[in-house]
Amino acid sequence: MDVIEAIESRKSIRAFRPDPVPKEILTRILEVAVRAPSTDNTQPWEFAIVTGPILDGLKKAMSEKMGAPTEFTPDIPFPILSYKPPYLDRSKKQGKKVFESMGIARDDWPRRMEWYRYMARFMDAPVGLILYVERYLGAYAILDAGLFLENLMLAAMNYGLGTCTQMAVVLYPDILRRALNIPESKLILCGVAIGYPDENAPVNQFRSEREPLDSFATWYGFD
């Protein structure tokens, strides 16, 4: 698979087979992912990779806690309640695709809640990764961590693994801090569910949309 093909075919995987992922494979993926560029080569990404009973404990604690957006306390305040167009429309379109793929109606709150709890369980993936950076490094470190993240997702594909970056697993950072000994000095950014894709799951069948390039790009000096 060439680089363009890998980038174009990557998509978020939201249902996984329970098969464990060998540590050797995860190690290789992470070794590749840390080749990402970073500000002054500071390499600020840090991550906890969790499986087995420790992951089970996190899944239980976070899914039990999952509640209203007003109760979320992520390290980076989540802007969902303040989205305006065009971000609001894109976000709504994406949410609609996810719920429609599973036949969950807009007003079916019990099933929607069930989905949020499922997300808090790392979408039942066998491996969960929590990504964080030293807090005082600020926005550049977050940018660097994003580059690591895309590398991670692309490298995982090489081993037949699927991934989904998740804010849903960092909504209650205290739970993560306690279980994984992550100090307050670290800014918890997001999680990643990792596992072998359940190819037949309805939620894995759709592809997210992108706006036309012209809505992002402003060209100068070209014909």
Ligand X SMILES: Cc1cc2nc3c(=O)[nH]c(=O)nc-3n(C[C@H](O)[C@H](O)[C@H](O)COP(=O)(O)O)c2cc1C
Summarize as ranges the residues that interact with ligand X (CB under 6 A). 11-12, 14, 94, 119, 164-168, 190, 208
Q: Which is closer to ligand X, CB of 27 or CB of 205?
A: 205
Query: Tokens in use for 206?
Result: 């759709």
Q: Is the peptide bond before 86 cis (omega within 30 degrees of 0)?
A: yes
Q: Is the peptide bond before 79 cis (omega within 30 degrees of 0)?
A: no
What phi, psi does 197 have (nearest 5°)?
Answer: -60, 140
Supply the DSSP symbol for 68: -
> Are 16 and 125 spatial neighbours (Cβ–Cβ below 8 Å)?
yes
Q: Which is closer to ligand X, CB of 26 or CB of 123?
A: 123
Q: Which is closer to ligand X, CB of 23 or CB of 106?
A: 106
Least separation in angstroms between residue 132's CB and ligand X is: 13
Least separation in angstroms between residue 131's CB and ligand X is: 9
Supply the DSSP symbol for 184: T
Least separation in angstroms between residue 166's CB and ligand X is: 4
Q: Which is closer to ligand X, CB of 147 or CB of 167?
A: 167
Least separation in angstroms between residue 66's CB and ligand X is: 11
Q: How many residues does the chain have?
A: 223
Question: Rounded to whole angstroms, how far apart are CA atoms 176 and 182?
Answer: 7
Question: Rounded to whole angstroms, how far apart are CA atoms 74 and 139?
Answer: 16
Q: Which is closer to ligand X, CB of 11 or CB of 28?
A: 11
Place of tokens 């939620």: 203
Least separation in angstroms between residue 19's CB and ligand X is: 21
